Amino acid sequence: MMETFSLLPLEPVQWAWGVVLFWLALGFAALLLQRVPQLLSRLVFPLGALGALFIAGVGVAGLLLPASTIVLPIGLPDLPFHLRLDALSAFFMVLLGGAAFGITVYASGYFKSMAGGPLALLALWYHLFLGGMVTVLLANDAYAFMVAWEVMALSSYFLVTTDHKVPEIRRAGFLYLLIAHVGAISLLLTFGVLQGGQGDYTFDTMRLAEMTPFWASVAYLLALFGFGAKAGMVPLHVWLPEAHPAAPSPVSALMSGVMLKTAIYGLLRVTFDLLNIQIGWWGTLALALGLITALYGVIFAAVQSDMKRLLAWSSIENIGILLAAFGLTLIFYTDGKGALAALTLTALLYHALNHAFFKGLLFVGTGSVLHATGVRHMGHLGGLMRFMPWTAWLTLIGALAIAGLPPLNGFVSEWLLLQAFLQTPGLTQPYLNMVIPVAAATLALAAALAAYVMVKFFGVVFLGQPRDPALHEAHEAGWPERLGMLWLAAGCVLLGLFPAQVIGWLAPVVSLLTDQTLVNDGNWLMLAPISAERASYAPLIFFAVVAAVLLLTFVWVRRVYHGRVRRSDPWDCGYPEQDARMQDSAEGFGQPIRQIFEVFMKVERETPDPFSRSPHYHGASLDKAWFIFYVPIARVTNWLSEQAGRLQHGRIQWYLIYSFATLIFLLVFTTR
């Protein structure tokens, strides 16, 4: 297409499109290679991973270089694909490439035991999915955007239903497809409003369109709904806890880590770039929805006992945090507080990047556990740290990062966001001034609960004693898996240790959207948003202190404490024997949360009879949103279709009467 023999003078957008084509070719080559599955996992996926790394490089180049565009001669006759790579797209491309590289390297090991045919199809959908996501980021007209968006949705649907022989998985896939398409319709309408009657669907035209506040609000609300459906905003989140456990782990990692971010990208693109006005209440709405989503997600994460479902709910929580940050950015921006908007947006982008890394890491970690044990339910796991040290330690890094502990990356973004919340007294609207501290408290609660969730996740799966004798057979993940996890874990650590540098790289994006950049009042070692007197964070020093304390404690315990002679009681402190069934279970750990937040859930409990010989306990905390929003919609639809079904008598005379009545009606009313 655009490739010439001298590749160097090409612009970043052309490189990016080249990678998309490469992935497409790779996907279709995979179909031809289905007779040799070894080649598929050893060649196709590593090559795909290289493509992802390349995309990350292109993204870095895009952050440094000015925006570049191309028009591709594909698509409809009058509507070619317009592609554009600006700083915002470039940032999300770094996110995509960085996370997808680790995940795809992992996938090359994870899928190696699959049979040729299904594996070839999976490789096809996988690379189409990657290509679709990159094209979503590149699209510069509504048509290309929708095509790429649908490619992304459909290929991920096929990835979710990889094990399509299981009915629950088909059901999960259908739910995902349904909500994805409801969202896509809403996006289509958004673009319809955005083009403002000019009939030209390029983003360039939309940027210039002058919208009235009413129509701009309509476009914003439609976009919030459409992108919210993809991101998993409450109450459109129901597909996430179903689809993520159904999909193979690298796919869940990619969907949760990267795909959800394309929705955030779209929201930023439409609100700050395509719309020419922004209104304050939009931000308040997004903030409220985001906080609800965050809290709702983390509460449900706490009561899950399926590890992938737990991570899916945790993704909902993180999307909530991102939405809240988005809302706060809008509030600051419309209030004329450019510097604070820049701070919040930096926190948002940083958190999106972090989430891609640690959630990707955690999902592939569960994939290794699943491969080793074949179990997703945490009640049958435990003590895996002894058998799978690599997986356990690397997952621990991810768990600590998502829990927001310094010096890892999760802390940096959440800290930045809380800093932004603490700056709200500067706002000119008194009501917001009063309400936002509550919002900050909610966010802090969600962050604390996230840590609780991670203690549960890591503790139940990896610590303690194995709850099942079969777990002694658990085997460590292979080298490609370890490498993939290592990459993602390294991302978590480095993003946590060098925030000042990362924020420097984010500056072009932030200035593109808010016309201002975050001023780092510190130096390369220290992060100090707005002003150093107020708050600052020096992760390297912090890390050094943590490491020193750890080392000292270790030495003290090993050399001094254990060095002494110890006596132990004959009664063994009341623990004469302790077995795996005496450990705290996943349900038990979540019990307090379930008690406190019972209003949010519909709890199903089946307790055993005290005299039962084989006691059986069953407990499930169901999502109330399902019963409040979805069941009534399904009922109304069903009722309407039943009413329409009454027209169907099966007697030909009745059908003739329908035609006859229609004929008479039309004759009477059209000849008036």
Partner 1 sequence: MSLTYHLQIVNLLAALLLLISFAMLSQRRIAGLITLFAWQGAALTASTALVAWSTGQHHLYYTAALTLVLKVIAMPWYFFRIVKKLDVDRDVEPMINIPTTMLIGIVLVIFAFNLALPISELSGTVTRSTLGIALATVLLAFLMMITRSKAIPQVIGFLAMENGLFFAATSATYGMPLVVELGVALDVMVGVFVLSIFFFQIRETFDSLDLKHMEKLKER
Closer to partner 1 by CB, 171 or 649: give it. 649
Question: 3-class DSSP state for residue 214?
Answer: helix
660 binds partner 1 (CB under 8 A): yes
Quote the CA–CA distance of 86 and 97 in Å, as a whole number: 16
663 binds partner 1 (CB under 8 A): yes
Closer to partner 1 by CB, 550 or 657: give it. 657
b/e string for 383-422 if b means 16 or more Cβ within 10 A? bbbebbebbbebbbbbbbbbbbebbbbbbbbbbbbbbbbe
Closer to partner 1 by CB, 166 or 656: give it. 656
What is the nearest approach in angstroms of partner 1 to the Cβ of residue 640? 16
639 binds partner 1 (CB under 8 A): no
Question: 3-class DSSP state for residue 527?
Answer: strand
Structure tokens at 323: 């939405």
The neighbouring-strand residues paired with 80 are 75
644 binds partner 1 (CB under 8 A): no
Span interacting with partner 1, options 244-252, 389-397, 426-434, 662-670, rule CB under 8 A? 662-670
Quote the CA–CA distance of 625 and 293 in Å, as a whole number: 11
Quote the CA–CA distance of 508 and 387 in Å, as a whole number: 45
Per-residue contact flags (x/-) with partner 1 for residues 563 to 602, judged by CB under 8 A? ----------------------------------------
671 binds partner 1 (CB under 8 A): yes
Per-residue contact flags (x/-) with partner 1 for residues 504 to 523, judged by CB under 8 A? --------------------
Closer to partner 1 by CB, 614 or 659: give it. 659
Quote the CA–CA distance of 131 and 86 in Å, as a whole number: 18
Per-residue contact flags (x/-) with partner 1 for residues 51 to 90, judged by CB under 8 A? ----------------------------------------
DSSP state letters, 143-210: HHHHHHHHHHHHHHHHHHGGGTTSHHHHHHHHHHHHHHHHHHHHHHHHHHHHTTTS---BHHHHHH--
Among 651, 662, 665, 669, binds partner 1 (CB under 8 A): 651
Determine which helix (DSSP H) or strand (DSSP E) holds 69, and give its type and residue range.
strand 68-76
Find the DSSP H helices in 235-337. 239-246, 249-254, 260-268, 280-303, 307-334
Among 627, 631, 649, 665, binds partner 1 (CB under 8 A): 649
Closer to partner 1 by CB, 214 or 669: give it. 669
Closer to partner 1 by CB, 553 or 638: give it. 638
What is the nearest approach in angstroms of partner 1 to the Cβ of residue 167? 23
Quote the CA–CA distance of 44 and 501 in Å, as a whole number: 34
The neighbouring-strand residues paired with 68 are 85
What is the nearest approach in angstroms of partner 1 to the Cβ of residue 659? 8
Among 311, 656, 662, 665, binds partner 1 (CB under 8 A): 656
Q: Contact 396/408 with Cβ under 8 angstroms?
A: no
Beta carbons within 8 Å of 502's beta carbon, 6+ residues apart: 350, 353, 412, 495
640 binds partner 1 (CB under 8 A): no
Structure tokens at 140: 């510069």
What is the nearest approach in angstroms of partner 1 to the Cβ of residue 641? 11
Q: How many residues bind partner 1 (CB under 8 A)?
A: 16
What is the nearest approach in angstroms of partner 1 to the Cβ of residue 331? 54
Quote the CA–CA distance of 354 and 502 in Å, as a whole number: 11
664 binds partner 1 (CB under 8 A): yes
Structure tokens at 251: 């796919």
Span interacting with partner 1, options 246-254, 255-263, 354-362, 641-649, rule CB under 8 A? 641-649
What is the nearest approach in angstroms of partner 1 to the Cβ of residue 663? 7
Span interacting with partner 1, options 268-276, 302-310, 436-444, 651-659, rule CB under 8 A? 651-659
Structure tokens at 643: 């009413």
Distance between alpha carbon 111 and the CA centroid of its chain, in Å? 22
What is the nearest approach in angstroms of partner 1 to the Cβ of residue 650? 3
638 binds partner 1 (CB under 8 A): no
Structure tokens at 276: 């020419």
What is the nearest approach in angstroms of partner 1 to the Cβ of residue 637? 17
Span interacting with partner 1, options 154-162, 163-171, 389-397, 652-660, rule CB under 8 A? 652-660
Span interacting with partner 1, options 78-86, 204-212, 525-533, 644-652, rule CB under 8 A? 644-652
Span interacting with partner 1, options 186-194, 346-354, 435-443, 655-663, rule CB under 8 A? 655-663
CA angle 120/125/130 to nearest 5° reads 125
What is the nearest approach in angstroms of partner 1 to the Cβ of residue 668? 8
Structure tokens at 610: 């005290």
Span interacting with partner 1, options 179-187, 369-377, 404-412, 646-654, rule CB under 8 A? 646-654
Quote the CA–CA distance of 492 and 358 in Å, as a whole number: 6
Among 657, 662, 665, 669, binds partner 1 (CB under 8 A): 657
Structure tokens at 586: 């996943």
Pairing of strands 618-623, 601-606: antiparallel
Q: How many CB atoms lie within 10 A of CB 72?
A: 14
Span interacting with partner 1, options 123-131, 159-167, 330-338, 650-658, rule CB under 8 A? 650-658
- Looking from the CA of 121 toward its CB, the CA atoms found within 13 Å total 14
What is the nearest approach in angstroms of partner 1 to the Cβ of residue 215? 44
What is the nearest approach in angstroms of partner 1 to the Cβ of residue 642? 12
Beta carbons within 8 Å of 154's beta carbon, 6+ residues apart: 177
Among 653, 662, 665, 669, binds partner 1 (CB under 8 A): 653
650 binds partner 1 (CB under 8 A): yes
Positions touching partner 1 (CB under 8 A) are 645, 648-653, 656-657, 659-660, 663-664, 667-668, 671
